[in-house]
Amino acid sequence: MLLDMDLGVLLPSLIPSSQSVYVLVFYFVYLAVAGEILPGKVIRGVLLSDGSQLRYRCNGLLALTLLVAILGICAKLGIVSPLMVADRGLELLSATFIFCVLVTLALYVTGRNSSDKSSSLKPHVSGNLVHDWWFGIQLNPQFMSIDLKFFFVRAGMMGWLLINLSILAKSVQDGSLSQSMILYQIFCALYILDYFVHEEYMTSTWDIIAERLGFMLVFGDLLWIPFTFSIQGWWLLHNKVELTVPAIVANCLVFVIGYMVFRGANKQKHIFKKNPKTPIWGKPPVVVGGKLLASGYWGIARHCNYLGDLMLALSFSLPCGISSPVPYFYPIYLLILLIWRERRDEVRCAEKYKEIWAEYLRLVPWRILPYVY
Ligand code: NDP
């Protein structure tokens, strides 16, 4: 979309209208209320260094289903336009960006002034304003008892689906609905729904347990995820692709295999953390030092879950063919992010597990892709 616009059109469409602000306010208020009142499994987070554990109500799937149903009914009744997001994408993007800046400045100020000593709220101040604003000061800040980190990642993932649905409506309306668009929409919708089915797994991920809440994370969750992960959809609105049957079959295989590896690896680790004796692929697990799983996917490479995620990301772009690098933004970005993250995670694990980690490295020498990396 951006590529088709000249600056005279682009700049005005970046100025948030009052309507885009209302959309964001409605969205955040809905998520806050739904997150609090809808039923859902309450999960205890990982044990923090002071022995405390946060609680997360995992009702994202219900909140998302209800939201889509409400929006669908409102669209049918003509109260909202299903094209609202697709037509006002840039305005919403800039409104979200301004929100990210404001909210992270507020987080910076409250973090700096906090005298809380608990692991989740203890301020970590380096003294460098940009660093502290970017990386955040507190691990799990809250607003009106809402865990903001969990809230923002949920908002981002749901936002991605809502943007996609609006793009889908736009392609139906302008008569450009194609096999590529259908494939892209199905893969992303399955990925996002699966995320919410397994929302509890999120509570033990790096972002939740190790990253403080600053601009990097808030921007990543609220803007980066929904607006850049949907580039393929925006691109397909303006470009036609002819897919052959073998290409469609190959694309589906990349998705299915990627999903099995991604979900399988994350599930095995999650189950292992809950009960280290649970069999892995029908056999007793290989465990290093009583703490690290070295069988199943975790015996093939130290981050098979990243490999699966990368295959999934590729499957979201393949429907766009290979005529342009633009739709490959997401897999390329994810490759860079996950390699960087895997390096940081290795450092953290080496410090935490010491000789146990060294033994694990010996048993499982591959980082992400066996025999390659
Ligand atoms: P992981 O879920 O891989 O978590 C890493 C942590 O798991 C380590 O710090 C360690 O924590 C524990 N661990 C590592 N190895 C083992 C082992 N062998 N046995 C037991 N525990 C182990 O990483 P992430 O949180 O980064 O990723 C979670 C998922 O989210 C991945 O599938 C990833 O692809 C996806 N993701 C997607 C992104 C996107 O933009 N699409 C961005 C980032 C992640 P501990 O101290 O608890 O033992």
Residues within 6 Å of ligand 1 by CB? 205-206, 262, 266, 269, 272, 292-293, 298, 303, 305-306, 309, 334, 337, 341, 345, 348-349, 352
Residue nearest to atom 5 of ligand 1 (CA): 206
Determine the atom of ligand 1 nearest the C-alpha atom of 309: 34
Tens of pLDDT, residue by residue over 204-260, are 888 888 889 999 999 999 999 999 999 999 999 999 898 999 999 999 999 999 999
Phi-psi region of 354 (alpha: psi -120 to 50; beta: other; left: phi over 0): left
Give the per-residue pLDDT at 2.
52
Structure tokens that stand for 209 in this block? 């347990």
Tens of pLDDT, residue by residue over 110-139, are 999 988 888 888 888 898 999 999 999 999
Please tell me the number of Cα atoms within 13 Å of 354 on its side-chain side. Answer: 0
d(Cα 123, Cα 133) in Å, to the nearest integer?
A: 12
pTM for this one? Answer: 0.88
Determine the distance separating the centroid of ligand 1 and the alpha carbon of 286, expressed in angstroms.
19
Give the per-residue pLDDT at 9.
66
Phi-psi region of 127 (alpha: psi -120 to 50; beta: other; left: phi over 0): left
Determine the distance separating the centroid of ligand 1 and the alpha carbon of 97, expressed in angstroms.
27
Determine the distance separating the centroid of ligand 1 and the alpha carbon of 5, expressed in angstroms.
39
Determine the atom of ligand 1 nearest the C-alpha atom of 360: 18
Give the per-residue pLDDT at 184.
97
Residue nearest to atom 9 of ligand 1 (CA): 345
Give the per-residue pLDDT at 337.
92
Instruction: Show the low-confidence residues of the chain (pLDDT under 50).
Output: 3
d(Cα 308, Cα 40) in Å, to the nearest integer?
A: 28
Tens of pLDDT, residue by residue over 272-294, are 988 888 899 988 999 988 889 99
Residues constituting the chain: 373
